[in-house]
């Protein structure tokens, strides 16, 4: 999504609303946790039973899903303690 980091707050809101509409359609097995917007990409974190459901969401919402990766664990500074 080249230039997405420069998208207006209204454009980001509209994309979020579209995503939420599709999530409601898909049901409770998929949950959008949050996303990180960089200059040219959006990295989204979901809870879903499989990659196919995430790709289905992206397709129905009209959003690219170039890659999907399963998170095996979460670490943070307290992991070092």
Enumerate the domain spans of the chain: 4-80
Topology of the domain comprising 4-80? Alpha-Beta Plaits (3.30.70)
SS3 58: helix
pTM of the entire predicted model: 0.84
Q: Spell out the per-residue pLDDT of the chain, length 81, in tens.
A: 778 899 999 999 999 999 999 999 999 999 999 999 999 999 999 999 999 999 999 999 999 999 999 999 999 999 999
Q: Which residues of 29-44 are buried (b: 16+ CB within 10 A; e: fewer)?
A: ebebeeeebeeeebeb
What is the C-alpha to C-alpha distance for residues 53 and 10, in angstroms, rounded to an integer? 27
What is the C-alpha to C-alpha distance for residues 79 and 48, in angstroms, rounded to an integer? 25
């Amino acid at each position: 999504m080249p230039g997405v980091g420069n998208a207006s707050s209204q454009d980001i809101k509209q994309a979020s609303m579209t995503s939420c509409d599709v999530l409601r359609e898909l049901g409770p097995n998929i949950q959008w946790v949050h996303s990180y917007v960089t200059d040219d990409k959006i990295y989204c974190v979901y809870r879903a039973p499989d990659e196919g459901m995430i790709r289905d969401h992206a397709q129905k919402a009209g959003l690219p899903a170039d890659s999907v990766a399963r998170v095996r664990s979460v670490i943070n500074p307290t992991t070092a303690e």
